[in-house]
């Protein structure tokens, strides 16, 4: 099986050969999209080289390092059955992602609703504070008019004068 074999790699057109690496290690790089399109691989110690493009074209984009002829050994199915299983697996993955997406949208909606409520509470507090400040301003104005106004002082003096006579 190719899964049990080692691969040699030329990661770029420079021609430098690296390896050997396990198929599992190379698959990890492939899944993380760390393999350049120009990369070439050898399963026979460097005698024959194949590009990643050719491997994907022949073996499929999801398992380019497992030959389609090897799928019988892997899953006891024909290549067509293997691809059907792959499609079904991908559909299931899409369904799971859709469910996760729906849950995230629900959480977002709840968060937006909570934020709206918090904004409304803040607006009420702001209005109450503004009303309270306006009341204090009016009270200060009345106090000033009654106690500190020059007219009040004159009236107070006049009353005292009248009370003294």
Nearest Cα residue to 2 out of 67, 53, 64 = 67
Is the whole-model pTM more than 0.85? no
Residue 70, both tokens: 């090897």
Residue 51, both tokens: 């590009």
φ, ψ dihedrals at 45, nearest 5° = 75, 15
pLDDT digits over 11-70, tens only? 776 778 888 998 889 989 988 988 888 889 998 888 888 988 888 888 888 888 876 554
- Residue 78 Cα distances to 13, 70, 83, angstroms: 35, 10, 9
- Residue 27 Cα distances to 18, 34, 64, angstroms: 15, 10, 8
């Amino acid at each position: 099986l190719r899964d049990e074999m080692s691969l040699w790699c030329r990661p770029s057109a420079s021609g430098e050969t690296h390896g050997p690496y396990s198929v599992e290690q190379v698959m990890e790089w492939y899944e993380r999209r760390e393999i350049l399109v120009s990369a070439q691989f050898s399963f026979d110690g460097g005698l024959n080289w194949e590009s990643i493009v050719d491997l994907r074209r022949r073996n499929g984009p999801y398992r380019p390092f497992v030959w389609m002829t090897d799928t019988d050994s892997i899953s006891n199915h024909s290549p067509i059955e293997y691809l059907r299983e792959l499609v079904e697996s991908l559909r299931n993955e899409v369904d799971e992602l859709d469910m996760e997406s729906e849950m995230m949208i629900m959480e977002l909606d709840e968060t937006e609703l909570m934020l709206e409520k918090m904004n409304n509470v803040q607006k009420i507090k702001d209005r109450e504070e503004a009303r309270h400040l306006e009341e204090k301003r009016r009270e200060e104005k009345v106090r000033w008019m009654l106690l500190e106004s020059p007219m009040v002082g004159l009236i107070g003096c006049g009353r005292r004068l009248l009370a003294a006579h």
